[in-house]
Structure 1
Amino acid sequence: MMDFDYVIVGAGSAGCVLANRLTADGRHRVLLLEAGPKDWNPMIHIPVGYSTTLKDPSVNWLYETEPDPGSMDRVHVWPRGKVLGGSSSINGLLYVRGQMADYDNWAQLGATGWSSSDVLPYFRRAEANERLSDDLHGTDGPLNVSDATTRHPVSDAVVEAGVQAGLPFNDDVNGEVQDGISYFQLTVKNGRRWSTAQGYLKPALNRRNLHVETEAHVASILFDGKRATGVTYRQDGRTVTAMARREVILCGGAVNSPQLLEVNGIGDPEVLKAAGIDVRHALPGVGKNLQDHFVVSVQFRLKPGTITVNQLSKGWRVMVEALKYAATRKGLLTLSAAHVQAYWRSRPGLSGPDVQYHILPATVNIPKYRDTGVWELEDESGLTIAPCQLRPESRGTIHVKSPDPFAAPAIRPNYLADPIDQRTIVEGVKFASVIAAQDALKPWMEHRIDPADGAMGDDEILSWVRERGSTIYHPVGTCRMGQASDTGAVVDPQGRVHGLSGLRVVDASVMPRLVSGNTNAPTIMIAEKISDSILADAKAEAAA
């Protein structure tokens, strides 16, 4: 048995932040538990290695959804990080905050203290931006943010085509307005992935008050009445108990945090009883309010002789790129999951963009009937322009199937259930072809290959989207923040679980609504902000 002030469950994007901030003044003893291994896998640190880690079970939970009615009853693979750094160690390295209006909306929904003016200081505190330095960006935080060091002529042409199609060029989509097109900024430093394990955890590892355990899968939360007092976890075939004098903090993400609550009897009584779990504390919102970005890849064939990522990733060319990376930390191996980002409004009257595009000079063979998560680059040259709806109205659930803490939960994303989601993604697909038809891309473009070139009505486009679309790995909302009077809220605006003490949730699951962009940067911000709340509570109790 071990004794600590705080036990953090999950060393991912949020957990590594908390481990750093809670141990910084030396007053608190912290145990950080990670079910996966240390981040020794070299594919984690080479940026383009995401293409390997996204399907590697040694560092990835590789969850599978239930058959999804909105996408032809297909099963979708959901990669989630199972390694120090969590999903920040396996993701596509894209740094996007979303629109400031997203956070004002959180505050309006009951997450008091999470408006745009409230969260901006924490985005700035986290950030070490190599190019941008102003009132909106930080330059000395733990999370390095940089521009891509390698560009591609087709991607340059896409940016020009976007401007020709009516999108403004916007070299800071994390600034005052999101509308426009530009290259992504990346969580990369000196040509290497800059995960929260690198930026936050590694500098704290020599602190005597921080203890880190890997390959440690938490099985249960211990309670004394309504107070969480510790956890048990499995490691090397044995069960270990760790006590928390102050708090147990769940940082497992949108899948694992509600799962752990439910297997410990915290959740909707009907769900718990159906799974054979005794009710410890009724909290109907656990596992509900699931939101995710649903993306579909509109793919184009480029003219013969064009060298894209397809060719650079194969044969002698990839060997040349490997040597270039070793010598200069530039080239193919520094690339992220997408080169170019675009944000577009699908209809008049919107206060901000409702469609995001991930654009890459590459095409892949996408499985037609099942999202296996294993997509292979094609041999021929191609371009992908992939829209997703930024603020989906559809809601899904994540619930346990049994009392087994090591069994995967039932994930039901419920994609495209809402008519607004259907209409928006259809318009997004049509505008992808508008971008591709601009003069800037004509020297490169051959024809559209998926969906097949030719006129399509809205119903045909929607059917194609249901058949071909999938997750872009942004699940949130399953332990959402809100006031105690809100029966669907799981935690308060400080991450404290309603009706219990000594237990918090700090990760993407607490988001009331999905942000208008990729979720890693907002998750880091959440942990930065709640770390201040945790330390303030400790200080207040010490003074009482």
Structure 2
Amino acid sequence: MRDTPLPVIEAGSFYQISNGNLSEVPAYGPWFSGNDVHDWQPGIDWGFKTVPQAFSNRTYHLTRGKTLGGSSARNFMLYQRGTVDSFSKWAELVNDTSYLFPNVLPYYKKSPQYTPFDASLYTNSTNTQSPTSFSSSGGPLQVSFPKSVGSFGTSAQRAFQAFGMGPLSGFNDGALLGSAYATSTIDPTTGLRSSSSSSFLATALLRSLAPTIYTNTLASRLLFSASTPPRAAAVLATTAGTFGTPSLAYTLAARRSIILSAGAIQSPQLLQVSGIGNCSALARHAIPCVSHLLGVGAHLWDHPIFGTSHRVRLATASAAASNATVAEAGVTAFLEGAGGPLAQPGAGVYGWEKLPASANLSAATREALGWFPPDWPEVEWLPSSALRGDGNTPEHGDPGDGTDYATISTVLVAPLSRGSVGIESGEMGVPPVIDPAWLAEEGDREVAVRCVRRQREMWGWLVEQGVAEEEEVYPGEGVQTDEEILGWLRESLSTVNHASCTCKMGTRGDPMAVLDGEARVFGVDGLRVVDASSFPLLVPGHPQSTVYMLAEKIAEKILEEEGMVANGNLSLPMGGACIG
């Protein structure tokens, strides 16, 4: 048996090879991320489908990264942090004050290397960022701003402020109620995506700390010792064959421990096929029970999104859809200076708020939303310089008629609905049963309807300012009543792909908790889950920064436990395993 330094099991490979510019160039982020079950790229995505949703009776493609870097190679690159009160809630649920915002902030600062914005680009808008949000010693994840500022983002910033979302100094100091330009995981030198693969892994590969990477390899099952409690002892892995050769199954034994980081869909799936979950449900698939944990695959949080569109009197990304000259100029600007429209993953500016009293939410919905603390926004306002449409195929959503379009979307960041991830088989090769349960709760549907009406109020303001044409292009004037809006949402609702909390942290007294506050799986030894599934709640906003924070925090704990840090130097572990 040969010792292997930190084996990392990855079902995919390098997205830079498998998907090229469509994964790296910011403006191409939406490609292969639509609702349509056929809109996926097998080189970087699992092609998962949801069960028919109760709200819409539709089946959706659910974007999940099958590549080194995981979903950090698939997201829209927005980097912002949760709120102070949301982490107070996290600490309360886990009974661990180390999760209070002041205590997690150093871990947030540890990953990113921050590059400030170029003030000369913001001639018609204001970008203010707190100088204390980042550390000069951070890295290697690149966090910066696009080298281009879209005109619709400038208009959206003014609209948000007119609607009460006052200016903030960025979104990284624990406050979100307001509006600002957001940081993005973009390399300021190249203008390309900065993912966990292109930052952390690439850095390790250039040093003597490089892990051994098993690409195109599926973690089929976790194997446990017969001890009490059982100990995670090995991973049964299967590597794809090449040139017609059969796949190869083998075992990687773990001398120390196993870290599971397969994401909010496949981390609970792998636990279940390995015998950790609801024992009654596992028995139906003849899976021996290792640890009876009801919460595995339960408690799924996600953020649904929907938006309305108008023609605008500004240059937007729509022009490139039908004008080859404009498209060529955009490519040239990016190649020569990492600027132009291709540098922008979105409009750049965002707004967050609790809905005002004028929304007239019902008492029942207000009571349900009362679970969320005071600084937790209920909605995020996300503008985009294109016609988003029904979200089925974002890369083809624009009509290409030579007109400039823009969209104002709403993301529900205080969702009341909870979904689940189950299994149909004891084999990892069989896709899991995924039910995000978007808008399953009446309160979510009520908030969504109110948000569509508020979108229209914002568009009315933009029309008055001479920015937008009066006619609503999508969904159009035929959608007016609450029932008509709900009917339209059944056709157009999508997700920002923030699935989380399916292996949630908690206390031993919580019957739905899967992990303790140090991400250790209850009922077994030597196994941790460290990814978005570990969250006890989905903090408001976009979770990638919180995944990095949690990874830094748990990594420090592991190094302390194993005595791998001495005099500031890391002693590389042998024989562990990480499943990503």
TM normalised by structure 1 equals: 0.89
Alignment of 1:31-180 (within 5 A): 31-41=7-17, 42-43=20-21, 44-52=23-31, 54=33, 55-70=40-55, 72-110=56-94, 112=96, 113-131=98-116, 132=129, 134-139=131-136, 140-180=138-178
Whether the aligned pair in 1 keeps the contact of 2:220 and 2:428 (CA below 8 Å) is yes
Looking at structure 1, the residues matched to 548 and 565 of structure 2 have their Cα atoms a distance apart, in angstroms, of 26
Following superposition, which runs of at least 4 residues in structure 1 exceed 4 angstroms of deviation? 371-375
| Structure 2 partner of 1:421 | 444
After superposition, what is the alpha-carbon deviation per residue over 1:404-443, rounded to whole angstroms, capped at 9, x for unaligned? Answer: 1111100011111223222222222222122222257632
After superposition, what is the alpha-carbon deviation per residue over 1:86-138, rounded to whole angstroms, capped at 9, x for unaligned? Answer: 11112111112122221111111125232212211111112222225644322
Looking at structure 2, the residues matched to 389 and 96 of structure 1 have their Cα atoms a distance apart, in angstroms, of 16
| Structure 2 partner of 1:310 | 318
Whether the aligned pair in 2 keeps the contact of 1:247 and 1:502 (CA below 8 Å) is yes
CA displacement at 1:377 relative to structure 2: 2.1
Looking at structure 1, the residues matched to 182 and 464 of structure 2 have their Cα atoms a distance apart, in angstroms, of 20
CA displacement at 1:354 relative to structure 2: 1.0
| Structure 2 partner of 1:186 | 184
* Higher mean C-alpha displacement, 378-387 vs 172-181: 172-181
Alignment of 1:219-238 (within 5 A): 219-225=220-226, 226-235=230-239, 236=241, 237-238=247-248
User: Are 1:363 and 2:387 matched, yes or no?
Assistant: yes
| Structure 1 partner of 2:277 | 267
CA displacement at 1:375 relative to structure 2: 4.6
Looking at structure 2, the residues matched to 375 and 415 of structure 1 have their Cα atoms a distance apart, in angstroms, of 24
| Structure 2 partner of 1:445 | 468
Looking at structure 2, the residues matched to 144 and 309 of structure 1 have their Cα atoms a distance apart, in angstroms, of 25
* Aligned Cα root-mean-square deviation (Å): 2.2
From 504, 516, 539, the equivalent of 2:540 is: 516
Whether the aligned pair in 1 keeps the contact of 2:49 and 2:61 (CA below 8 Å) is yes
CA displacement at 1:47 relative to structure 2: 1.7
Distance of aligned partners of 1:361 and 1:116 in 2 relative to their CA distance in 1, 3 Å threshold: same
Alignment of 1:343-358 (within 5 A): 343-347=352-356, 351-352=374-375, 353-358=377-382
Whether the aligned pair in 1 keeps the contact of 2:264 and 2:499 (CA below 8 Å) is yes
CA displacement at 1:374 relative to structure 2: 6.2
Whether the aligned pair in 2 keeps the contact of 1:157 and 1:440 (CA below 8 Å) is no
**Could you tell me which amino acid in structure 2 is paired with residue 45 of structure 1?**
E
CA displacement at 1:311 relative to structure 2: 1.4
Looking at structure 1, the residues matched to 251 and 565 of structure 2 have their Cα atoms a distance apart, in angstroms, of 25
Secondary structure, in 3 states, of the residue corresponding to 1:296? strand
**Could you tell me which amino acid in structure 2 is paired with residue 239 of structure 1?**
A
Looking at structure 2, the residues matched to 439 and 402 of structure 1 have their Cα atoms a distance apart, in angstroms, of 52
**Could you tell me which amino acid in structure 2 is paired with residue 93 of structure 1?**
M
**Could you tell me which amino acid in structure 2 is paired with residue 98 of structure 1?**
G
Whether the aligned pair in 2 keeps the contact of 1:77 and 1:372 (CA below 8 Å) is no
| Structure 2 partner of 1:24 | none
CA displacement at 1:176 relative to structure 2: 4.2
Distance of aligned partners of 1:124 and 1:209 in 2 relative to their CA distance in 1, 3 Å threshold: closer
| Structure 1 partner of 2:428 | 405
Distance of aligned partners of 1:372 and 1:324 in 2 relative to their CA distance in 1, 3 Å threshold: closer
Distance of aligned partners of 1:375 and 1:519 in 2 relative to their CA distance in 1, 3 Å threshold: farther
| Structure 1 partner of 2:199 | 199
After superposition, what is the alpha-carbon deviation per residue over 1:32-67, rounded to whole angstroms, capped at 9, x for unaligned? Answer: 111001233322222223233533221111311000
Looking at structure 2, the residues matched to 219 and 455 of structure 1 have their Cα atoms a distance apart, in angstroms, of 48
Distance of aligned partners of 1:494 and 1:147 in 2 relative to their CA distance in 1, 3 Å threshold: same
**Could you tell me which amino acid in structure 2 is paired with residue 248 of structure 1?**
I
Distance of aligned partners of 1:435 and 1:213 in 2 relative to their CA distance in 1, 3 Å threshold: same
Looking at structure 2, the residues matched to 307 and 448 of structure 1 have their Cα atoms a distance apart, in angstroms, of 18
Whether the aligned pair in 2 keeps the contact of 1:395 and 1:413 (CA below 8 Å) is yes
**Could you tell me which amino acid in structure 2 is paired with residue 95 of structure 1?**
Y
* Higher mean C-alpha displacement, 444-453 vs 77-86: 444-453
| Structure 2 partner of 1:395 | 418
Secondary structure, in 3 states, of the residue corresponding to 1:377? coil
| Structure 2 partner of 1:211 | 212
Looking at structure 2, the residues matched to 107 and 272 of structure 1 have their Cα atoms a distance apart, in angstroms, of 31
TM normalised by structure 2 equals: 0.84
User: Are 1:340 and 2:349 matched, yes or no?
Assistant: yes
| Structure 2 partner of 1:22 | none
Alignment of 1:429-440 (within 5 A): 429-438=452-461
* Higher mean C-alpha displacement, 44-53 vs 252-261: 44-53
Distance of aligned partners of 1:150 and 1:135 in 2 relative to their CA distance in 1, 3 Å threshold: closer
After superposition, what is the alpha-carbon deviation per residue over 1:283-302, rounded to whole angstroms, capped at 9, x for unaligned? Answer: 11100000100111222223
Whether the aligned pair in 2 keeps the contact of 1:494 and 1:530 (CA below 8 Å) is yes
Aligned identity (percent) is: 29
Whether the aligned pair in 1 keeps the contact of 2:387 and 2:406 (CA below 8 Å) is yes
| Structure 2 partner of 1:23 | none
**Could you tell me which amino acid in structure 2 is paired with residue 59 of structure 1?**
I
User: Are 1:240 and 2:246 matched, yes or no?
Assistant: no
Distance of aligned partners of 1:540 and 1:335 in 2 relative to their CA distance in 1, 3 Å threshold: closer
Whether the aligned pair in 2 keeps the contact of 1:357 and 1:385 (CA below 8 Å) is yes
From 30, 53, 57, the equivalent of 2:6 is: 30
Whether the aligned pair in 2 keeps the contact of 1:53 and 1:90 (CA below 8 Å) is no
Looking at structure 1, the residues matched to 210 and 327 of structure 2 have their Cα atoms a distance apart, in angstroms, of 44
CA displacement at 1:531 relative to structure 2: 0.5
User: Are 1:322 and 2:341 matched, yes or no?
Assistant: no
Whether the aligned pair in 1 keeps the contact of 2:390 and 2:491 (CA below 8 Å) is no
From 364, 367, 377, the equivalent of 2:398 is: 377
**Could you tell me which amino acid in structure 2 is paired with residue 218 of structure 1?**
A
Listed as ranges, the gaps of 5+ residues in structure 1 are: 5-28
Whether the aligned pair in 2 keeps the contact of 1:95 and 1:186 (CA below 8 Å) is yes
CA displacement at 1:452 relative to structure 2: 1.4
Distance of aligned partners of 1:541 and 1:176 in 2 relative to their CA distance in 1, 3 Å threshold: closer
CA displacement at 1:167 relative to structure 2: 1.8
**Could you tell me which amino acid in structure 1 is paired with residue 107 of structure 2?**
Y
